[in-house]
Amino acid sequence: MVIPSLIEHKRDGGALRPEQWAELIARYTAGEVPDYQMSALLMAVVWRGLGPEELAALTDAMLASGDRLRFDGFERPRVDKHSTGGVGDKVSLVLAPMVASCGVAVPMMSGRGLGHTGGTLDKLESIPGFRTGLSLRETRAQVERIGCAMLGQTPEIAPADKRLYALRDVTGTVESIPLIAASIMSKKLAEGLNGLVLDVKTGSGAFMPQPERAIELARTMIGLGEARGCPTVALLTAMDRPLGRACGNALEVEESIEGLRGGGPEDLMEVTYALGAEMLLLVGAAADREDARRQLREAVDSGRALETFARIIEAQGGNPAVIEDPGILPQARAVEVFRAPRSGIVSAVEPRRIGRAIVELGGGRRTVEDEIDPAVGFVITVKPGDPVRAGEPVASVFAGDENGIALGLAALGEAVTIGGEARRTPLISHRITAAGVEILGQGR
């Protein structure tokens, strides 16, 4: 296999054959193809796209790069959720323990921060001691015991995605429907699921900002899932403003705990309940949507969901005392309030600007080798449409030093726009299944 020829072929609009994708991915995973060649090929895919046969071949090659979770003899239905990536999107941390507390198993494999978006693994690892590199055996045992494990790609499971994901994060090769679809579905199909719910983000902070493109991404992933025996449903949710208030790894863990306690920002909880209801329905664990929501609410109100999260943390080496004392989480050395520069209606809180600022503050990666600072980020208490008065505190910056504070305040100055028309897409706009697209348009 002559890799430069494959890159040129793809660059010039050609298609690689399934056996070429299989060999390429196997050799890349084995460390026999250098990152610089794979980066060039990924960029060619960003520009040229993949036909259905190529996409299927890439997904299957990535899936075949590792082992799969096997749950032979395990009775409980298994379901998972995956987001296409957002800012302030800590839904997984609230949702996984909630759904697991309703008697359904959630073997959840997530990713790290990608581009300007945050990642569940980085968030979880801000809990002192928390380990996301579980083996297959550990994962299965934990899912059987607690109903949920929250892990990352490892050399055993989805290793191709582990390497490609890290490479795409720092090479401007995230925004591509086939690359996102293959990344997500190769991980999820390795989990041995009975159903998968996708949270496909749309709006300026999403990888696919246009709703039509987000729907195309959803349909692509649903097609891959259904063709491989995994019933798959997607909700399109808003990412034209950050979800919830906290943006940044440790800050988001704190807000997730608040959500599991029954508090939590309204938008975060609405998206969480909607996805949770889809998960329970998909595997037949609820009679209807109302019953699903009732079960989820009861899991929170009874304290079972929070207790499940504490058990997950403990099982994965983390300090469960964080539930009672979020002060255990890494704390920013410098904190500063951002005040509204004028009175008026908030017209935008631009998530991409906030996400990029978190990376600049050290909360995300600029190179594959970067260590992140889990304490940095923002808490933004206003949403588009909210009235504010000049001088009113609307956000806080959490940084490592005074330079970081200056950078964070400047980012907020650009991201938070006051005056003009507030544009806000519906929080949950569409439901997409193999049968078609349903317009929901609910929530603000």
Residues that bind ligand URA (CB under 6 A): 84-85, 111, 114, 165, 174, 179-180, 183-184
Q: C-beta of 226: minimal distance to ligand URA in Å?
A: 19
Q: C-beta of 207: minimal distance to ligand URA in Å?
A: 6
Out of 60, 89, 122, 161, the active site residue is 161
Residue whose Cβ sits closest to ligand URA: 183
Nearest residue to 310 (alpha-carbon basis) of 295, 322, 297 = 322
| Residues in a beta bridge with 235 | 199, 431
Sheet with 334-339, strands from edge to edge, namely 246-247, 377-380, 393-399, 334-339
Nearest residue to 207 (alpha-carbon basis) of 355, 50, 53 = 355
Q: Which is nearer to ligand URA, 206 or 395 (CB)?
A: 206
Q: C-beta of 153: minimal distance to ligand URA in Å?
A: 9
Q: Which is nearer to ligand URA, 180 or 233 (CB)?
A: 180
Q: C-beta of 263: minimal distance to ligand URA in Å?
A: 27
Dump the DSSP string for 32-99: -S-HHHHHHHHHHHHHH---HHHHHHHHHHHHHTS-----TT--S-BEEEEE---SS--HHHHHHHHH
- 183 catalytic residue (yes or no): yes
Angle value at C-alpha 68, between 67 and 71, nearest 5 degrees:
140
Out of 168, 188, 353, 365, the active site residue is 168
Q: C-beta of 132: minimal distance to ligand URA in Å?
A: 14
Q: Which is nearer to ligand URA, 109 or 332 (CB)?
A: 109
Q: Which is nearer to ligand URA, 364 or 384 (CB)?
A: 364
CA atoms within 13 A on the CB side of 398: 20
Q: Which is nearer to ligand URA, 84 or 256 (CB)?
A: 84
| Residues in a beta bridge with 428 | 237, 442
Q: Which residues contact 247 (CB under 8 A, 6 or more apart)?
A: 87, 88, 118, 354, 355, 358, 377, 378, 379, 380
Neighbours of 84 (CB within 10 A): 29
Out of 10, 48, 82, 353, the active site residue is 82
**305 in helix, strand or coil?**
helix
Tokens of 228: 């491989």
Out of 65, 83, 176, 183, the active site residue is 183
Out of 48, 123, 162, 187, the active site residue is 187
Amino acid letter, residue 53: E
**Cα–Cα distance, 81 to 272 (Å, whole number):** 10
The DSSP call for residue 200 is E
Q: C-beta of 217: minimal distance to ligand URA in Å?
A: 9
Tokens of 252: 């988001």
Q: C-beta of 176: minimal distance to ligand URA in Å?
A: 8
**Cα–Cα distance, 169 to 372 (Å, whole number):** 14
- 116 catalytic residue (yes or no): no
Q: Which is nearer to ligand URA, 208 or 380 (CB)?
A: 208
Q: Which is nearer to ligand URA, 85 or 404 (CB)?
A: 85
Residue 196 in contact with residue 231, Cβ under 8 Å?
yes
Q: Which is nearer to ligand URA, 271 or 322 (CB)?
A: 271
Q: C-beta of 270: minimal distance to ligand URA in Å?
A: 21
Nearest residue to 86 (alpha-carbon basis) of 424, 435, 403, 351 = 351
Q: Which residues contact 434 (CB under 8 A, 6 or more apart)?
A: 222, 223, 226, 232
N-terminal to C-terminal alpha carbon distance within the chain: 52
- 10 catalytic residue (yes or no): no
Question: What Å distances lie between residue 398 and 212, 283, 341, CA to CA?
Answer: 36, 41, 19
Q: C-beta of 98: minimal distance to ligand URA in Å?
A: 21
Angle value at C-alpha 380, between 87 and 399, nearest 5 degrees:
80
Active site residues: 82, 161, 168, 183, 187
